[in-house]
């Protein structure tokens, strides 16, 4: 299975079905290296964070706009919204995949503004 296929399977379980624990226990290595400064390393820390997020915002959506793969890196660009009236965040997750497991993660998160200096969408 290619790195992109691994992340596509993860996308379906986590971003679309919101099955946090199942997605992470199936596709993420237990010793997951985390580059998000607010979270410690390891799979369990991110599961706890995301389960809490979805508990607080059960209507949160993750609209996938692009998936880009190069060698062992896969990038997911998406729109995260707490609810239909929330402008949300533009997010880019970068995963490094090894032996059919996601082993490392980086992200870039930017709030979607109410107004833009141009007519182009962030997505």
* Domain count across the chain: 1
Q: What is the mean pLDDT of residues 95-109?
A: 98
Check which CATH number belongs to the domain holding 13 and give it: 3.10.450.50
Contact 91, 20 (CB under 8 A): no
pLDDT of res. 22? 98
Residue burial 80-110, b: 16+ Cβ < 10 Å; e: rest? bbbeeeeebbbbbbbbbbeeebbbbbeeeee
pLDDT band of 105, cuts 50, 70, 90: very high
The Cα 30–Cα 49 span in angstroms is: 15
Report the predicted TM-score, pTM, of the whole model to 2 decimal places: 0.94
The Cα 74–Cα 59 span in angstroms is: 26
pLDDT of res. 60? 97
| Structure tokens that stand for 34 in this block | 């985390």
For residue 116, is it within any domain? no
For residue 118, is it within any domain? no
Q: What is the mean pLDDT of residues 98-112?
A: 98
For 62-94, write each residue's pLDDT tens digit: 999 999 999 999 999 999 999 999 999 999 999
For 12-50, write each residue's pLDDT tens digit: 999 999 999 999 999 999 999 999 999 999 999 999 999
Contact 28, 50 (CB under 8 A): no
Q: Which domain holds residue 67?
A: 3-111
């Amino acid at each position: 299975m290619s790195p992109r296929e691994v992340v596509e399977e993860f996308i379906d379980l986590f971003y679309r079905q919101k099955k946090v624990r199942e997605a992470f226990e199936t596709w993420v290595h237990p010793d997951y290296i985390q580059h998000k400064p607010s979270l410690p390393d390891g799979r369990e820390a991110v599961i706890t964070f995301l389960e809490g997020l979805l508990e607080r915002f059960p209507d949160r959506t993750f609209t996938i706009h692009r998936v880009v793969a190069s060698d062992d890196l896969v990038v997911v660009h998406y729109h995260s919204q707490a609810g239909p009236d929330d402008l949300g965040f533009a997010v880019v997750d970068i995963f490094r995949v090894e032996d059919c497991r996601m082993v490392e993660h980086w992200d870039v998160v930017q709030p979607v503004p109410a107004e833009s200096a141009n007519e182009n969408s962030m997505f």
